[in-house]
Structure 1
Amino acid sequence: MTLALLDFVFRWAHLLFALVWIGHNYANVVKHPTFTPLNGEASEEARTAALEARMQREHGTFRYASLVVWGSGMGMLWYRGWLGDALLLEGPHAVIGMGAWIGTLMLLNLWLVLWPHQQKVLGFVPAPMEERVRCSRITFLSSRTNTILSIPLLFFMAASGHGLHLF
């Protein structure tokens, strides 16, 4: 019974935190459909401590949600005994495995590409204005990459339980 409860927790954590992580990407696309370069003319004084605290909280929530989503997804695969076959893309678990690999790629993109550059854009890490402007384009493209990758990710997740016979 304890393992069934663990599976329940994995499933709900995966769902709820995926809404936070992917929802943040989709909201970003709606708010900013096209690339707008960082305005090098804006003053640092215009930034208040309250604004910086909100940005830190928002970006932290979004980033750490990605870890919960990935960890709970891997936990569900492990609990069911599917992890090896899924990651090796073998048998009927190859479909969910594709979703797992896309999710892993998205997680790595967020933590290793988007976040280091986003820190410079937001001023959390000191950088000259030219570097911040350059990083703004990288963060835009990295974020859009994750948004686009979420579409096949959701397809493979749903197809693994609803439509597996198509594969």
Structure 2
Amino acid sequence: MNPLKSPWATTVVGIVLALIIVAVIDSPVPPSTTEWTIWFHVVVGVMWIGLLYYFNFVQVPAQAEAMADKDGPGPAAIGKYVAPKALLYFRWAALLTWLSGAAALGKYGIFADAFLLKQNAAVIGIGAWLGTIMLFNVWVLIWPNQKKVLGMVQASDAEKAKAKTVALYASRTNTLLSLPMLLCMTASHYHNGGLPF
């Protein structure tokens, strides 16, 4: 069986390859559970932010083009088949990213310090707060409003129009926040001598 024919099989092979690389690397200390937590955090974070960028740079403009194309398949091609599946992965990747990041902060004993923006964890704390705001936007603003836009819950035309605007602006806010959030998450590794990882 060709694993490249299935996204799940491809992912499994990627995980196996990562484990082989870890086993082959000549390291005196095997990766800790905290390092695996961070690796998982990065993987689901890439999925979350990748889908966020997909929505903002690909799907929203494509939806507008589909609505304007009288001879094309129409917006239902995206709204009925693509958007619901993309939103499924998007919202769960957001939650898993936040939970795994919180778990990593907890394993290092800096969860409270990060969210209280204490000196030793202020930079990563800012990133954690930005990620928390983004998670809120996904589950409280984007997802409930997208369900109205996509017809998954009943809504009037006026409610759909308002929902579309709220979801769009929440998504654009997340795109805006993703850049300083990613900077804080990566800068925390070397800012003021770095965190313990």
TM-score of the superposition, structure 2-length normalised? 0.70
Residue pair 2:123, 2:191 contacting (<8 A) in 1 also: no
Partner of 2:138: 110
Q: CA deviation at 1:52?
A: 3.4
In 1, distance between residues paired with 2:46 and 2:122?
Answer: 24
- Counterpart amino acid of 2:94? S
Q: How many residues align?
A: 156
Q: Quick one: percent identity of the two aligned structures?
A: 35
Residue pair 1:35, 1:137 contacting (<8 A) in 2 also: no
Stretches of structure 2 that go unaligned for 5 or more consecutive residues are 1-30
Match of 2:80 among 38, 52, 55: 52
For 2:41, what is the secondary structure of its paired residue? Answer: helix
CA 1:35–1:97 in structure 2 vs 1: closer, same or farther (change >3 Å)? Answer: farther
In 2, distance between residues paired with 1:164 and 1:25?
Answer: 31
Partner of 1:154: 182
Matched, 1:18 2:21: no
In 2, distance between residues paired with 1:35 and 1:58?
Answer: 14
1:39-67, Cα deviation, whole Å (9 max, x unpaired): 6xx9xxx848x973543322111100001
- Which of 1 and 2 has higher RCO (CA within 8 Å, sep 6+)? 1
Matched, 1:122 2:124: no
Q: How does 1:34-53 map to 2 (within 5 A)?
A: 47=76, 52=80
CA RMSD of aligned residues (A): 2.8
Residue pair 1:20, 1:62 contacting (<8 A) in 2 also: yes
In 2, distance between residues paired with 1:112 and 1:95?
Answer: 26
Q: CA deviation at 1:162?
A: 2.3
In 2, distance between residues paired with 1:164 and 1:109?
Answer: 31
Stretches of structure 1 that go unaligned for 5 or more consecutive residues are none
CA 1:149–1:35 in structure 2 vs 1: closer, same or farther (change >3 Å)? Answer: farther
Match of 1:138 among 155, 166, 172: 166
Q: CA deviation at 1:30?
A: 1.9
Partner of 2:25: none
